[in-house]
Structure 1
Amino acid sequence: MSSIVLRALAPALGFVLAGCSVPPSSEPRREARVEGRVALAGPPVGNAFLFLFAPDEAPPEQRGEPRYVAAVPEIRLAAGDARFGFSGVGPDVYRLWGFLDANGDVDLTVDVLAQPGAGDWVPEDSVELNVQPGQTLPVDLSLSRRVHRPLPAFQAVEQGTEGVFTLTDSSTAIVSLNVRSKDFGLLRGDPPRFFVRLADADGDGTADDVNGDGVVDVWPQFFLRFVPKPGQTVPLDRQGRPAQVIVPLLPDVTPFLGSLQGDPSVTVAAGSLQLFVIPLAQAITQEPGKGRVVTTLGAIPVGEYELWAVNDEGGFWFVPNDLGRRTAEPVATQALRFRVVHAEGSDAGTGSP
């Protein structure tokens, strides 16, 4: 089993940047202001979006829901006015992060579209802020790194029965599904592809095999993410926070091995991939002094899942998403649900709910 998918879990999970609002304050006199300028490495084309996150939820290491949102419109950036400001900020520790939407295809109301894609500009890291009561805190943010990969937007080829793709919790069943890259007319620039390459996290020029199973780790990474319903439980970390539970998927890169030639610097663009389900579930927690802790569970939880793809720049896509749930012009393929049932009740991969 390839364990590189676990390293992508932290920067991927969570509904990012969508539906956030400024929390109310019961003590207006304690509110602070954060203000500064955006420094652009590229041309002032597009709107800049900025966010204040909790310290353990900020990109690029983590992805959470921002506490505060600000923007600098393109018309101001083009005029040389790159100022931004967050008003009514409660005293606390935050991390500042943002990006320039150079292609104009970001939509903060849609979960999978509320992130930077190809051609956009992002900071090298988020900036930690310690906001004091009543303070006006100056801080600048440099958007110095360009994103090269389009989002790994996809649809599953198998649509299941009544919009549900079903597999079982069997630890022996061999199940696969196929995914196809697609932009749905929403992403600008180069069309999305699965950019297949060998992973080389330490930069030594040799493909990684982190868990020593003899199978090299590759990008992109795929997994099923458990979405527990009320009453369903998952393991907790030491702070009592629920773990993220995933079922890893292994892309079949056999057709590309000849082109990759064992070289992590080589990338092959693919329009579709076959994914094999690794029949186990893993709980991911963050533990003080240990970092990310991975625990293999005794069984795959029965219930609803999302299918995730993550590329080597942290761009992600998952199904089902808001595109499939919206009332106006829903995208049917983005509403596909994934369900795990007990092996006694269904055959794996039949598409029966």
Structure 2
Amino acid sequence: MSPIALRVLCLTLGLVLASCSEPSTELRRSARVEGSVAPSGPARGNAYLFLFAPGEAPPEQRGEPRYVTAVPEVRLAAGDARFRFSEVGPDVYRLWGFLDANGDADLTVDVLAQPGAGDWVPESSVELNVQPGQVLAADLALPRRVLRPLPAFQVVEQGEGSVLTLTDSATAITSFSVKSEGFGLLRGEAPRFFVRLADSNGDGTPDDVNGDGVFDLWPQFFLRFVPRPGQTVPLDSQGRPAQVLVPLLPNPAPFLGGLQGDPSREIAADLLQLFVIPLAQAVTDEPGRGRVVTTLGAIPVGEYELWCVNDEGGSWFVPNDLGRRTVEPVSSQALRFRVVHADAADAGAGSR
């Protein structure tokens, strides 16, 4: 179970409402953060709010919240949008949250613990410097409505024994396909891949970050290394482990004609072919430099997650909690990904 799930299971709505009581004498040095949430649209659904460490807050980063609270729909509908975090340890945090307008967020399931189509979100998180014993006022506006459904998917080639095996070959061309699928869990518009040309600076010219002559596309896919005990990854300048990623390239051929080199155009697709780029990258966030990408000499062998990120920051990854739950597990969401040496005896299992 994810850290978010553990926090939420300990934080029922009854506890949220009870948090309006005064802190005990033993916790006088603890602080309190309180304010109101302000969605721009109708106040339908529950509002969820989080306190993150400064370098872990959405939408720029994806971390685990230190504190969680909520404003139930019944209170929002009555015009009471107040929230409170009680017993907050003094520190620097970033406040972020969202209004679950469609009612399909589930904070006990990792891939569902995020806003989707129709939900309301802030433009950015709000930095808070919480002092001992302080009662800190901090409101959170939610002016932006999410347009895209979550990029939920399953892999077409399930592999043998629920494992899709790839190799670390620097020369082999490997691919597999993913299909959009909501599993009956997402409300509103059916999940699809909304394919469009990337234009990070908004100048109307498609991006080609690596200079290979092929325009970059949304959504973006990558394999994320999940090191096991004894496996090491590069560290950043502050000694924190880097994210090790293997980029995946969606086959652009079916879409380039329809996109016509225009980043404002998009094509909805149910199926994408992904090519494995035969390199690994260590990604770190360095003070004063921002995001730093370093190419590694080889792809680490071991376990990986398959990630998809859309142009609004919505994400999906496999394996996830849907595949691990004991009641009605979704078997396609339990698929594991393994990279082996190209000359390994089992290198061909699940490879394309």
Whether TM exceeds 0.5 here: the answer is yes
How far, CA to CA, are the matches of 2:292 and 2:345 in structure 1?
32
Secondary structure of residue in 2 paired with 1:51:
strand
How far, CA to CA, are the matches of 2:346 and 2:211 in structure 1?
31
Match in the other structure for 2:172: 173
Q: How does 1:209-224 map to 2 (within 5 A)?
A: 209-224=208-223
One-letter code aligned to 1:108? L
The answer to whether the 8 Å contact 2:175/2:275 transfers is yes
**Structure 1 outlier segments of 4+, above 2 Å:** 15-22, 346-350
> Per the alignment, do residues 182 and 90 of structure 1 end up closer, same or farther by CA in structure 2, a change over 3 Å counting?
same
Match in the other structure for 2:249: 250
Q: TM-score, normalised by structure 2?
A: 0.93
The answer to whether the 8 Å contact 1:16/1:115 transfers is no
Match in the other structure for 2:18: none
Give 1:128 shift.
Answer: 0.5
How far, CA to CA, are the matches of 1:253 and 1:349 in structure 2?
26
One-letter code aligned to 2:67? Y
Match in the other structure for 2:349: 350
Give 1:289 shift.
Answer: 1.6
How far, CA to CA, are the matches of 2:321 and 2:144 in structure 1?
28
The answer to whether the 8 Å contact 2:341/2:347 transfers is no
Secondary structure of residue in 2 paired with 1:30:
coil
How far, CA to CA, are the matches of 1:109 and 1:152 in structure 2?
19
RMSD (Å), alpha carbons:
1.8
1:305 aligns with 2:304: yes
Identity %: 79
How far, CA to CA, are the matches of 1:28 and 1:342 in structure 2?
54
One-letter code aligned to 1:139? A
Match in the other structure for 1:86: 85
How far, CA to CA, are the matches of 1:27 and 1:175 in structure 2?
59
One-letter code aligned to 2:282? A
Match in the other structure for 1:19: 6
Give 1:347 shift.
Answer: 6.5
Secondary structure of residue in 1 paired with 2:7:
coil
Number of residue equivalences: 337
One-letter code aligned to 2:350? G
> Per the alignment, do residues 49 and 89 of structure 1 end up closer, same or farther by CA in structure 2, a change over 3 Å counting?
same
List alignment gaps of at least 5 residues for structure 1. Answer: 1-14
Secondary structure of residue in 1 paired with 2:56:
coil
The answer to whether the 8 Å contact 1:20/1:65 transfers is no
List alignment gaps of at least 5 residues for structure 2. Answer: 11-23
How far, CA to CA, are the matches of 1:257 and 1:351 in structure 2?
29
One-letter code aligned to 1:174? I
Match in the other structure for 2:94: 95
Give 1:273 shift.
Answer: 0.2
Q: How does 1:44-83 map to 2 (within 5 A)?
A: 44-83=43-82
How far, CA to CA, are the matches of 2:238 and 2:216 in structure 1?
31
Q: TM-score, normalised by structure 1?
A: 0.92
How far, CA to CA, are the matches of 2:348 and 2:335 in structure 1?
14
Give 1:213 shift.
Answer: 1.6
How far, CA to CA, are the matches of 2:282 and 2:131 in structure 1?
36
Q: How does 1:1-353 map to 2 (within 5 A)?
A: 17-20=4-7, 28-346=27-345, 350-351=349-350
How far, CA to CA, are the matches of 1:207 and 1:102 in structure 2?
33
